[in-house]
């Protein structure tokens, strides 16, 4: 499945407050929900560190990555963007940093 198809699929399978309104409240809801899913992911990583590595824990982490991606797709849609463009912009940014030797460091504008 490509990113465009995935993003369309999330739109067809979503239900939440202010859905489709592309307003600040929808943006806030999606950002908070994505952060909550990232928190669940972090909790599983913490347990992997604390309790030991195993396949079941790794599968739970993968599932949470999927949930984060779902909300990222919805947030992109809400902002009038598509995931393919966002992935490309991020790729270009990282490649530019790599070419300039500034992958390490602080700040968005390096």
Instruction: Give residue-wise pLDDT tens across range 50-109.
Output: 999 999 999 999 999 999 999 999 999 999 999 999 999 999 999 999 999 999 888 887
| CATH code of residue 71 | 1.10.287
Structure letter (DSSP) for residue 106: S
37 in a domain, yes or no? Answer: yes
Provide the phi-psi class of 63: left if phi over 0, else alpha when psi is between -120 and 50, else beta. alpha
Residues 26 and 37 sit within 8 Å (Cβ to Cβ): no
Alpha-carbon span 16 to 109, nearest angstrom: 35
25 in a domain, yes or no? Answer: yes
What tens digit of pLDDT does each residue of 12-33 get? 999 998 988 999 999 999 999 9
What tens digit of pLDDT does each residue of 39-66 get? 999 999 999 999 999 999 999 999 999 9
C-alpha of 30 from chain center: 11
C-beta atoms surrounding 88 within 10 Å: 12
Q: Look up the domain containing 26 and give its range.
A: 3-81
Indicate the pTM of the whole model. 0.89
Taking the CA atoms of 59, 17, 32 and 79 in sequence, report the sign of the dihedral they define.
positive
Residues 72 and 83 sit within 8 Å (Cβ to Cβ): yes
Tell me how many domains the chain contains: 1
101 in a domain, yes or no? Answer: no
Instruction: Please report the pLDDT score of residue 110 as a whole number.
Output: 82
94 in a domain, yes or no? Answer: no
105 in a domain, yes or no? Answer: no
92 in a domain, yes or no? Answer: no
């Amino acid at each position: 499945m490509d990113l465009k198809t995935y993003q369309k699929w999330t739109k067809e399978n979503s239900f939440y407050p202010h859905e489709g309104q592309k307003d600040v409240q929808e943006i806030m809801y999606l950002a908070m929900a994505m952060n909550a899913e990232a928190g669940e992911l972090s909790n599983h990583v913490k347990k992997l560190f604390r309790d030991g590595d195993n396949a079941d824990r790794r599968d739970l982490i993968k599932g949470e990555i999927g949930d984060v991606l779902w909300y990222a797709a919805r947030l992109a849609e809400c902002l009038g963007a598509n995931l393919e463009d966002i992935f490309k912009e991020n790729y270009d940014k990282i490649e530019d940093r790599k070419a300039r030797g500034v992958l390490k460091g602080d700040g968005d504008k390096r």
